[in-house]
Structure 1
């Protein structure tokens, strides 16, 4: 998740102060990517240091507002134009966990898979309920975030089915034997 670029995107819509950026960022991501206010101000300081934002005065309550600079707009345009590489994403803990479970003696891989499957199914149900809770006027960005999370949970369920098929049936935690 690029907080840096998310804040630049919000600032491209006009000057904002830190807490306003935090709440708008969270609203845009359907509250699935919470931000610590300290993280927002640290990021703003770095953006200012790098010449991508500047202080745009204070509002009537004395809060410092930030505005995107021309260099910030250029950075934002480059970010939107560049596809996100799988290599740019953090390690998937579930992949590592199942790889380690499959190679660690004494681990019941089927139980690990089943526990994850149950958890993923609960998550999928919660996300589906949350999506149904949106009315027609819900922000498109919020719907897209929830759709993405639903699709990821569905894909995880399919991947767990695949892992189970490759590693053995639920009653057999030993790796499946290949046939030639």
Structure 2
């Protein structure tokens, strides 16, 4: 999630002050990615420093808050962002993936119990998301309704994928247990090979993005 580009997108529509940007960002994303004023202020300072945003002239000299608008360079950067796909070469630090990756090699940890507990939590989240989708109007959607609906769809699809992955983890762990696992030497070799492949793929993707 890029706060920088998000603020540029909002300012492309109309000049705003920092609090309006925070409100609009959270409103349009359904509060899924809340911002604090420190984030907004720090990002604004950097945008001004980089020449992408500048203070807007105001007819009210006594205005208590400063509004901002995009510069030509800011519009160019925003246009580039719209046109550029999000690069997936570097995996995000996902807590669940890290937790299970460590759990499978931690002595005395019951991985299947962790998986079952997580599946229950993810299913609960899916139920909540489905309930939120049901609250959307049946017709006559505004652009804000559509934006929120798309965010909800993404979260539901991600939760469904997580449940499928948890099923896969449980199956792999059960199969490994039935086969008696693998030797430490073989496991280290496999991890080293996987790391080398991931590093090569990342380098190739980064080179192609330049």
TM-score, normalised to structure 2, is: 0.78
SS at match of 1:97: helix
**Superposition deviation, residue 22 in structure 1:** 0.5
**Superposition deviation, residue 87 in structure 1:** 3.0
Q: Which residue, 152, 170, 179 being the options, matches 1:164? A: 170
Instruction: Give the match for residue 123 of structure 1.
Output: 125
Distance 1:69 1:15 in 2: 11
Instruction: Give the match for residue 53 of structure 1.
Output: 53
**Superposition deviation, residue 81 in structure 1:** 1.3
Q: Which runs of 5+ in 2 are unaligned?
A: 181-210
Instruction: Give the match for residue 153 of structure 2.
Output: 147
Instruction: Give the match for residue 99 of structure 1.
Output: 101
Instruction: Give the match for residue 32 of structure 1.
Output: 32
Instruction: Give the match for residue 113 of structure 1.
Output: 115
Q: Which residue, 52, 62, 79 being the options, matches 1:77? A: 79
**Superposition deviation, residue 58 in structure 1:** 4.4
SS at match of 1:175: helix
Q: Which runs of 5+ in 1 are unaligned?
A: none
Distance 1:65 1:59 in 2: 11
Distance 1:163 1:51 in 2: 48
Q: CA RMSD in A?
A: 1.8
Instruction: Give the match for residue 190 of structure 2.
Output: none
Distance 2:135 2:59 in 1: 35
SS at match of 2:177: coil
Does the 8 Å CA contact 1:166/1:176 hold for their aligned counterparts? no
Distance 2:19 2:74 in 1: 20
Distance 2:149 2:91 in 1: 22
Instruction: Give the match for residue 15 of structure 1.
Output: 15
Instruction: Give the match for residue 5 of structure 1.
Output: 5
Does the 8 Å CA contact 1:53/1:68 hold for their aligned counterparts? yes
Distance 1:82 1:2 in 2: 13
* Structure 1 position 86 matched with structure 2 position 88: yes
Q: In structure 2, do the counterparts of structure 1 residues 59 and 156 end up closer, same or farther at CA, with 3 Å as the change threshold?
A: farther
SS at match of 1:40: helix
Post-superposition Cα deviations, 1:14-44, rounded to whole Å, max 9, x if no partner, equal 1011111001100111110100011111110
Distance 1:39 1:18 in 2: 10
